[in-house]
Structure 1
Amino acid sequence: MKYKKDGTLNKCSNRLLAKHDFQKKLTEKKLTEKHLDGGKHKNISNRIDEESKYRIIKGEILNDLDEYKKKYKNRQSKRKGLGKLDSYCEKKVFDKFDYIYEFAEKLKNDEKAFKKKNKQ
């Protein structure tokens, strides 16, 4: 870690996901500030208010992780060297998470079917 002369910490985030999340929070903050001030965007309302709970539960609306994974190809093509390797490894990890989640869902469904067969 590097310190400036005045004693403050020079901190850098090297993870791609952290940078993406940080940028998103900055833009959201700017939009809400403009909205609260009554600036250009008077008619913009918060994203959560617009969307019904049914659409969120049904899965029509992507969460942050799904959006990040969806834009993977665009980010991957712009990277070179270690950055490309880093994003490739992130993709592998996210794919493994998806595989584990799907496997758990299948296992849960198999248990239900097994219980029904035993009752008959």
Structure 2
Amino acid sequence: MIVRAVDYTVPDRKGEHIRLITSILDPADATAEELARCYHDRWEAETGIDQLKTHLRGPGRILRSPTPELAYQEIWAYLLTHWALCTLICTAATTAGLDPDRIKFLGTVRIVRRSVTDRAALSP
């Protein structure tokens, strides 16, 4: 397979050098800037998947639902929980004047789990 290397630096990360390898050979099909944006977007998606599979659900855990309908419901519950946590992170970061990427997802999950567990101990 013939590949093309695209080198670029990330200014807000102290000039970090990145080399991207692609099978898109013609720069007219995708410029270096477009490929760099796509690469960044890909890692944003990978991070979201990792947050769901590793930190929210737990490593090695499978869905507990015995039927397809309940499995869909369980998946939606994970997705909605992930969305709620990301919304919480963005709201907290915006309020504090921070980049949301600087707030750790796992730390947020731990804080929310402790908070929810503490509240459950109270009598309604």
The higher-RCO structure (CA 8 Å, 6+ apart) is 2
Greater strand content: 2
TM-score by length of 2: 0.32
Q: Larger % of helix: which? A: 1
Structure with larger Rg: 1
